[in-house]
Amino acid sequence: MLLIIWPEPFATEAIQHFRHTLATGESYLAPPVTEDRHNIEKTESYDWQIHRITLPDGSHGVVCYFYDLTEIKRAQEIIRQAALRNAFLISLADFLRPLADPVEIQATASRVLGEYIGANRVAYFEVRGADYVVERDYVNGASALAGSYPIDSFGPKLLAAYRTGCTVSVFDVEADPNLSPDQQAAYAAIQIGAYIGIPLVKEGEFVAGLAIHTSGSRAWTPDEVILAEEVADRTWATVERVRAEARVRESEEKLSLFVKHTPAAMAMFDCEMRYLGHSQRWMEDYKLTENIIGRSHYEVFPEIPESWKQIHQNCLAGAVEKSDEDSFYRIDGSVDWLKWEVRPWFKAAGEVGGIVIFAENITERKQAQIQLQRQASKLIELNAALEQTASKLRERNQELDRFVYTVSHDLKAPLRAIYNLSSWIADDLQGQLNEENLHQMQLLQSRVLRMEALINGLLAYSRIGRTEIVTERVKVGELLSEILDSLMFPSTFTIFVQSAMPTLFTKKLLLSQVFSNLISNAIKYNDRLDGRIEIRANQKGEYYEFSVADNGPGIAPENHERVFEIFQTLQGQEVPESTGIGLSIVKKIIETEGGLIILESNLGEGATFRFTWGNRYDDDSHF
């Protein structure tokens, strides 16, 4: 079996160790082994051990333990390659850091990389229109290829790969099926046997690349390809940086002109706070007439406070500071109010070259603000006076409440006496009064009851909006159930309540009064045996719209406004319950709470009262 699993001479050696352990009981611990398995295309690392064991029948056997170290070895190799790659990249950065010429940077990177991986030729190229250009290349045993070449010479397949940012590595040009015979011959003519091509695609455009050549075939490792890609990117980043720095240097003159002619108050300083440039607005705002270029800012403005000097130093260290409002006490005793911002400016090499100060004179605006603050103080005083007036008004309201209660009590006392007296007379003369006298007696009692209802309505109406009522969580569905339980209505009536009613933070007592009045009216004045009332709710932004609809006799459009007026009723005087105050109370409650009520009705078509009701905490409400 071992001869099948393991090739010779390892199988014979393993058998010898098995026999030795079985005979002596001495365990065998093998050193780690790395080998290419003959039955699978795979390299494995492992160590193994042999130990003698006692079998159930008392005889001896051996057991062999294998420990797979393949993944550990691979991880160690990855770490080693990464360390080597990082060390090389650090060394490359040291070579490139002092360079300021893009061509020199590309040539140096090509040389350092070519020497490290043992290439015969390494070259950077840049795409310029329909051509690609090699300024300088590193060669070792191959001819130089510096020059300009048509970009189409890459061939359609390779060019398509480059334009999509794909790195291409070829081990053997002669065996590459993607190259035509003519291309293979052209490559051989310039000593390219194997190559790596790394495109640089920036913002979707193929702008440059790095080519690595060997004159013979070569199996490039994944680590070599990754390293080449990192060198290509880092070197190009360095090239772009130095070109940007050159553009900065070239634009300094333009910047100076811009600073001078910008419409804002702006000045540019070096690290010693000497003027390098300034806008014309700077001179005008600070009433400067002499040339200040080269002079110290603190000489031009000796009154600058120490706190501002510290800000300048902070910005020279790289900070950015600003103020939307700051006072500047001038040497003549006047005060300027400024909005300012101070920023560092940087030289091509990246170090701070000085600062730029942007300033806006906001003195006029600040003076207007001070005036507004004075007016605000006056408003505070007025608010205090209004609060005092409101306090007195609350006292008057309390007095009015006491007055209304006293009047209603004094009015209802004789009414109750009249009602009781008429009832006693009717009882005493029962059977003795003729029909007309009996009708008069009943009319007297109904008028007394109506007068008492009027007094109670007036009392309720006068208190709307003048009493503090607690705000609480109200489940409207449960509130309607309570109201309906308290009302009497014919068994033939149907009252439908929408199933999903909201939960509100509101004044439960007031909302209950509104619903009670509307529902009781819909019951009271419905002239049908199959009366139906529907109560619904609909959320509209920050408000809820509730509706109470019935199939009663309806109300003519010309009476829609009248029904909400106090003491106005469409019923006759003989109906004691009809005081003409109920809907007035409803309307006043709703409008006091910021809502609105409307009536939709025609004669013979029922009536629908719609009203809006706010929610103090809308986020907590739900259907």
What sign does the dihedral 274-277-283-286 (CA atoms) show? negative
For residue 37, the model assigns a pLDDT of 55
Task: Decide: 275 and 292 in contact? Cβ < 8 Å.
Answer: yes
Beta-sheet pairing, 532-540 with 494-497: parallel
Question: Number of helices and strands (H, E) in the chain?
Answer: 15, 23
For 59, phi then psi, to 5°, come to: -80, 175
Opening angle at CA 354, ends 351 and 356, nearest 5: 125
Percent of the chain with pLDDT over 90: 39
Nearest alpha carbon to residue 265 among 239, 289, 285: 285
pLDDT at 240 over 80: yes
pLDDT at 271 over 90: yes
What does pTM read for this prediction?
0.39
For residue 18, the model assigns a pLDDT of 86
For residue 431, the model assigns a pLDDT of 74
Distance CA 115, CA 138 (A): 9
Question: What single string gives the DSSP state of each residue in 527-558?
Answer: --TT-EEEEEEEEETTEEEEEEEE-SS---GG
What sign does the dihedral 493-498-499-502 (CA atoms) show? negative
Task: Decide: 276 and 354 in contact? Cβ < 8 Å.
Answer: yes
pLDDT digits (tens, 9 = 90+) for 317-363: 999 999 998 988 888 888 888 999 999 999 877 899 999 999 988 88
Q: Tally Cβ neighbours within 10 Å of residue 619.
A: 6
- With tokens 């439960």, the residue in question is 508
pLDDT digits (tens, 9 = 90+) for 172-218: 999 888 888 888 899 999 999 999 999 999 999 999 999 999 999 99
For 29, phi then psi, to 5°, come to: -115, 110
> Taking each helix axis from N to C terminus, what angle separates 363-428 and 435-463, rounded to the nearest 10 degrees?
160
Nearest alpha carbon to residue 196 among 88, 131, 78, 114: 114
> Taking each helix axis from N to C terminus, what angle separates 508-524 and 582-592, rounded to the nearest 10 degrees?
150
What mean pLDDT comes out for the span 92-108?
Answer: 92
Nearest alpha carbon to residue 209 among 140, 157, 151: 151
For residue 576, the model assigns a pLDDT of 45
pLDDT at 421 over 90: no
What mean pLDDT comes out for the span 37-62?
Answer: 75
Distance CA 438, CA 444 (A): 10
Q: Tally Cβ neighbours within 10 Å of residue 245.
A: 16
User: What is the band of 428 on the pLDDT scale with cuts at 50, 70, 90?
Assistant: confident
Query: How many CA within 13 A on the CB side of residue 55?
Result: 7
pLDDT digits (tens, 9 = 90+) for 537-592: 999 888 999 999 999 999 999 888 888 876 556 654 444 455 567 788 889 889 88
pLDDT at 368 over 50: yes
For residue 191, the model assigns a pLDDT of 94
- With tokens 């490559």, the residue in question is 187
Cα 426 to chain center, whole Å?
Answer: 80
Distance CA 595, CA 472 (A): 18
Task: Decide: 298 and 273 in contact? Cβ < 8 Å.
Answer: yes
For residue 264, the model assigns a pLDDT of 79
Q: Which tokens hold the place of 576?
A: 């004691």
Lowest average pLDDT, out of 238-247, 324-333, 421-430, goes to 421-430
For 74, phi then psi, to 5°, come to: -65, -45
- 37: Cβ contacts below 8 Å, ≥ 6 apart: 43, 44
User: What is the band of 234 on the pLDDT scale with cuts at 50, 70, 90?
Assistant: very high
The average confidence (pLDDT) of the chain is 84
Nearest alpha carbon to residue 227 among 85, 114, 111: 85
pLDDT at 618 over 60: no
Distance CA 196, CA 166 (A): 11
Residue with the bigger pLDDT between 41 and 78: it is 78
CA distances from residue 81 to 75, 298, 322 in whole angstroms, order as listed: 10, 58, 49
For residue 377, the model assigns a pLDDT of 87
Strands, sheet with 543-550, edge to edge from the N-terminal-most edge strand: 494-497, 532-540, 543-550, 607-614, 597-601
CA distances from residue 478 to 488, 512, 539, 611, 614 in whole angstroms, order as listed: 18, 11, 18, 19, 18
User: What is the band of 457 on the pLDDT scale with cuts at 50, 70, 90?
Assistant: low
What mean pLDDT comes out for the span 364-376?
Answer: 86
What mean pLDDT comes out for the span 513-527?
Answer: 89
Distance CA 256, CA 268 (A): 9
For residue 574, the model assigns a pLDDT of 45
What mean pLDDT comes out for the span 22-44?
Answer: 72
For residue 304, the model assigns a pLDDT of 92
pLDDT at 375 over 50: yes
For residue 575, the model assigns a pLDDT of 47
Distance CA 102, CA 357 (A): 34
Cα 376 to chain center, whole Å?
Answer: 36
Nearest alpha carbon to residue 279 among 246, 300, 257: 257
